[in-house]
A and B are shown apart, each in its own frame.
Chain A
């Protein structure tokens, strides 16, 4: 088997893995009960699934400019996904969608009440 054939086969496996990860994440999105656990499921296709798919695309196209474009996609995705997840999690906490009895430690409630380490009035609203 030639090197190109091996790269094609590995790329196909990576693409299939990424697609199945997306499917698993959407099932989790459907079945999980609240916002934070749905966020947990949602990160799978956004980072690992997308990276697997990009790896598969790169292994099958194999030209340097295409691989460079795919690297740019991976870097941008890994830069922007945590920003969105941070904002959604923050909004979920502040709108009361996080149940406190499921948390082992909760320093944010004290911080938001004003007697904790961080004064909320100085924070971004």
Chain B
């Protein structure tokens, strides 16, 4: 019951975030939406691991929290370079 509620909230959140990622309007909005989507995926994996009481997906959380910021940093660098 609680797990369904959590996953429903995370699903709606992911859908709205993907809409923002598609709509833009600037590249930076898409980058922010991508960061949020990574956080939502981490939350979803954590919720599933918590309610089913297994630790199989915990290494995925480590990897996502480590490399999730690389994409947004590199896109932000190129977006800042456009003007100068």
Chain A residues at the B interface, C-beta cutoff of 8 Å: 11-12, 15-16, 18-20, 22-23, 25-27, 29-30, 35, 38-39, 42, 45-46, 49-50, 53-54, 56-57, 60-61, 63, 65-66, 69-70, 72-74, 76-77, 80-81, 83-84, 87-88, 90-92, 94-97, 125
Query: Which residues B19-75 have CB closer than 8 A to chain A?
Result: 19-20, 26, 28-29, 31-33, 35-36, 39-40, 42-43, 46-47, 49-51, 53, 55, 58-59, 61-62, 65-66, 68-69, 72-73
In the complex, A53→B50 CA distance in Å?
Answer: 9
Q: Nearest Cβ distance between residue B60 and chain A, in whole angstroms?
A: 10
Question: Contact: B16 with A26, CB < 8 Å?
Answer: yes
A23 to B76, CA, bound (A): 25
Given contacts A30-B20, A50-B39, A61-B53, contact A45 B72 (CB under 8 A): no
B61 and A73 contacting across the interface, CB-CB below 8 Å = yes
Would you call A63 and B28 a contact (CB within 8 A)? Answer: no
Q: Are A29 and B36 in contact (CB under 8 A)?
A: yes
State how many residues of chain B have any CB contact under 8 Å with chain A. 51
Q: How far is the CA of A80 from the CA of B65 in the complex (A)?
A: 8
Which of A45, A57, A60, A80 interacts with B36 by CB under 8 Å?
A45
Q: Which residue of A lies closest to B19 (CB)?
A: A30
Known interface pairs A87-B72, A88-B76; A23-B39 also in contact (CB < 8 Å): no
Known: A53-B47, A57-B46, A84-B73. A26 touches B28 (CB 8 A): no
Contact B43 A18 (CB under 8 A): yes
* B19 / chain A contacts, CB cutoff of 8 Å: 30
Task: Encode contact with A along B4-30: 1 for CB under 8 Å, 0 otherwise.
Answer: 011101101111110110000010110
Which A residues are in CB contact (< 8 Å) with B33?
A: 29, 42
Given contacts A29-B17, A30-B20, contact A91 B50 (CB under 8 A): no
| Distance of B51 from chain A, by nearest CB (Å) | 7
